[in-house]
Amino acid sequence: MRTNPRPMAYKPPSVPSYPSLPKKLTREELHDRSVKGLCWHCDELWSRDHRCKKGHLLLIEPLEDMEEEVQEHKEEVMDEEQQSIDFMMHALTGYTNP
């Protein structure tokens, strides 16, 4: 008689795991680390060829009012395009400005 192994039931972790947020060091902490010759991201000594053993991801977030700046820029470009179209139209029709 063959018995099938019972599938293992999923057990959720007892402690919820949240992504760790980067620790922001104060100016004093940064200065202390620099004086001691430590890396700002790990507790190892820093040198030119130092690489942190634990990698980290750098993220650049856009500014919230960036859409307004883009919209203003689009309006400026459209105004410039309209002006160049007007110039071409005047040139084709032979219009001269007195």
Residues 36-72: tens digit of each pLDDT: 999 888 888 989 998 888 777 777 887 776 666 666 6
Please give the model's pTM, rounded to 2 decimal places. 0.36
pLDDT for res 80: 65
Q: Average model confidence (pLDDT) for the chain?
A: 74
Task: Mention every residue, 6+ apart, whose C-beta is less than 8 A from residue 53.
Answer: 42, 44
Q: Is the pLDDT of residue 98 over 60?
A: no
pLDDT for res 27: 92
